[in-house]
A and B are shown apart, each in its own frame.
Chain A
Amino acid sequence: MSTNEPLLSVRDLTTTFTTDEGTLTAVDGLDFDIHEGETVCIVGESGSGKTVASESITRILSMPPAHIDGEVRFRGQDVGALSDGALRDLRGGEIGHIFQNPQDALNHCYSVGWQIVEAIQFHDDVSKAEARERAIELLDRVGIPEATARFDDYPHEFSGGMKQRVMIAMALAPEPDLLIADEPTTALDVTIQSQILDLLEDIQEEFGMSILFITHDLGVVAEVADRVLVMYAGKLMEEGDVYTIFKEPAHPYTQALMECLPGRGESTKGIQGSLPDPTNPPDGCRFADRCPHAVEDCKKGEQPTLYDTGTADHRVSCVYYGPGYDESRILDAELSTGGAAGNGGTERTGGMNDD
């Protein structure tokens, strides 16, 4: 990992929503960095706050009802202090967004080419003809066949996968330094998903940008991520290198998540219980109620701080890694049940490990 200043640095990000039922804390004290050229995945289930976290970075949430606290620095610049205009420039410029449902994100009244031209002109003061040329190049780059001919087509004339490619072209138009991709392949079929993941990988190499990738799918995480953040109920549970996370998942929640994966040839285990009430979170660790290893200390005070596990850049919010506890209890438990990737076979056929 590069040691110089991170591209994006998020400190104590807390996003709350005012609702009829009270104040709902969607993201609670999130800290993370993204370095140049790095892909960071936020993984979590619904209600974990991963999407809200990503939308809080460029403040594309509607405020109110949302309220954002904490510090977000992009290239050292405090995003929270930016004027509305500067924020718009940032969103349309250095930080690009792609979303889960491309059909909702494209405007159906304009041709796709026109929308990309607009994105280019919003950022760069170029002539229409020049912007059109750039747009065609971009469409070609993201794998739209016959880019010139399809320039004037409307979104409904594209398939789901093609629309997502158009969205990527739009996000790439201002040559962003950071691409925030919120479940970009969840709505797509697996064969199309693999096309899009390949495309993202290629363009990342070519443009050298960083990607913040939001997903619930551990398979996708394993494929795209350099570093992984595991979120649960608005809190960061564990962060680390992708290899470490899959080989030695340290937090009981991460372990449980891996054991949920179906089709591994082993019996899957669900996680008993349900998410805590986001308007009135319990004391202590948010996962304590569902955790098989929970002790009294887990249900007291605040969410445990992120302790180092001993492995480089691997931190986990669990009391077992703090003073006075033996972390091997968690790690051994993990070994006995066998993590998802513990028996990492290399056989590709079947998409899963057979042995």
Chain B
Amino acid sequence: MAEDNKTGKAPDSEGRAVRLIKPKPKTTESHDAPGLSTESQSSAGDVAHSPRFHFFLIDCGWDGPVPNLIRNNLPMITHLQNNDPLFVLTREQSDQMLRKYPHLIGKDPVLLARDLYASRTDAESEYHGFHLNLGLIKTESEALATIRTFLNFLACHRKGGNIEKHIQEQLHRDGIKGAIEVLRVGSEAMVGG
């Protein structure tokens, strides 16, 4: 996706430059993560008023319904996530990332949610956030449902300290409850539910 980050313009679905309005750099809403101790918050400095996530879109510019869907719905991401910053890599920047990290090839467009609390609270942790590999989705309707689930999940758990646990329980559907949910969703899909 060609975009001029320096000028703050992004192309619309037809590739034309669109004039854009800068989002609020900081939100006024308190992000008092229950899992974070007072010490960790004070050591993190301005945690209470900082964005929880930095979003990145790595997109080499594939032409298809799913890539076009995410490009057309970019405002929804910032709008529904308390205006946390979204950084859209240009096609050249995305190409460079994929050349450097070939395991991402075939998975882009990748929407990456960098959890800023992860690095601030536990420097030793190997959890840095999570990413949605939209390139693995084949149909537009499935992609839209997945993006909605992703944004809903982030909105519901953005104040939580241990979001990784929620990812495993709710998105990866680990455990017995998750297995039942996997079967329920699968059977609904089979009967067209």
State whether these chains interact. no
- Residues of A whose CB lies within 8 Å of any CB of B are none
- Residues of B whose CB lies within 8 Å of any CB of A are none
